[in-house]
Amino acid sequence: MASLKKHLAKAGINGFFFLLLLTILLAYLFPEWGQSSGRVSLDDLTYYGVSIIFFFYGVKISPATLKVGLSNWRLHLWIQSTTFLVFPSLIFTCYVFFGDADSLFWLGTFYLAVLPSTVSSSVVMVSIAGGNLPAAIFNASISSLLGIFITPLWMDLFLSASETDFALWDTVGQLVLQIFLPVGVGFLLHRYLGAWVQRRGRQLKYFDQTVILLIVFSAFSQSFGQNMFAGQNVLGLGFWMLLLFLVMLGVMYGVGKWLGFNRPDRITVLFCGSKKSLVQAAVMGKVLFPDPVVFGVVLLPIMLYHTLQLIIGSALAERLGAEKAAI
């Protein structure tokens, strides 16, 4: 039990996980706190906070890791194809046959589908399960960068299908300025700041978490303030998110075997291909969905999916790790 608790904490089910829940509760109880007011609003704080987060993310990216990772191209190609092609195509097909053009939950579900893979929890779970750790680090890093460009393209396609206006190139420009440029500058400074950032990992993690909590609070408080969740079947949405995650796990497992990957690579596909990033959802969503009332509802599917991928993924990683130890 102590070992499971330790690994769950590493994967993200820790104080921050419960702070997310508390943040949503506070947004529900005190929605007026999230209104922009004063000289410096929450939007201002989170805008610059996001750029700082991605600057230090760029600093952490090691050129040596990226160079080594390029050799296993079949594995990387499948994981990125799953993240940005298979996942969105599945949800888009479901939307065409069953979707409601006026449902923000459908919009949020498709947004979930086109997000990049998460970084920290994927790497941790691959490590616990005995997967290919260098490949996990490589794919998580590349996925985050590709998402800056691919996610808006998919959202443009989806919103066009639902007859909603979407300023694609303005959005991409804002993401490049706010996210990609800081990452690039940070990457160029890896040689000089990499060691310092590694030493300050705990403090930077707390900074990242604070910015994400502020984004979530701002979005949910304004959605609650406008009564956007009234009459919505949140429990039903949670069931569909559970089904979606299990389906993606099954697809990742089956295709990994079909392509003949060895056990460590199959584990890497399983976790990196089925996960989506709450951090990227929060930071890109502020640009993609400038109306905070809408943004709060759109965030709900990824919040539920994030919770499920942590709980189920951690248990699965423990099981796979135990199987490896028994071999």
Q: Which residues of 115-149 are buried (b: 16+ CB within 10 A; e: fewer)?
A: bbbbbebbbbbbbbbbbbebbbbbbbbbbbbebbe
Per-residue confidence (pLDDT) for residue 84, from 0 to 100: 94
Residue pLDDT, tens place only, 125-164: 888 888 888 888 888 888 888 988 899 999 988 887 665 6
Q: Rounded to the nearest 5°, which phi and psi values hold at 266?
A: -65, -40
Q: Which residues of 219-238 are buried (b: 16+ CB within 10 A; e: fewer)?
A: bbbbbbbbebbeeeeeeebb
Residue pLDDT, tens place only, 256-304: 889 899 999 999 999 998 999 888 888 888 888 888 778 888 888 998 8
Query: Helices (DSSP H) in 82-189: which residue ranges?
Result: 87-98, 104-113, 120-129, 133-161, 168-175, 181-188
Q: Whole-angstrom Cα distance, residue 123 to residue 116?
A: 14
Q: Whole-angstrom Cα distance, residue 326 to residue 323?
A: 5
Return the number of other C-beta atoms located less than 10 Å from residue 269's C-beta: 28
Q: How many helices (H) and strands (E) does the chain have?
A: 17, 0
- DSSP structural state of residue 31: G
Per-residue confidence (pLDDT) for residue 315, from 0 to 100: 80
Per-residue confidence (pLDDT) for residue 46, from 0 to 100: 80
Residue pLDDT, tens place only, 51-98: 888 888 888 887 776 676 667 788 889 999 999 999 999 999 988 888
Residue pLDDT, tens place only, 195-231: 998 898 888 888 888 888 888 888 788 778 777 676 5
Residue 205 identity (one-letter amino acid) = K
Residue pLDDT, tens place only, 308-325: 888 888 888 888 887 766
Does the pLDDT value for residue 114 go beyond 90? yes
| CA-wise closest residue to 279 among 165, 183, 158 | 183
Q: Which residues of 91-103 are buried (b: 16+ CB within 10 A; e: fewer)?
A: bbebbeeebeeee
Q: Whole-angstrom Cα distance, residue 313 to residue 7?
A: 11
Does the pLDDT value for residue 14 go beyond 80? no
Query: 249 near 87, Cβ under 8 Å?
Result: no
Does the pLDDT value for residue 180 go beyond 70? yes
CA dihedral 322, 312, 12, 49 (to 10 degrees): 140
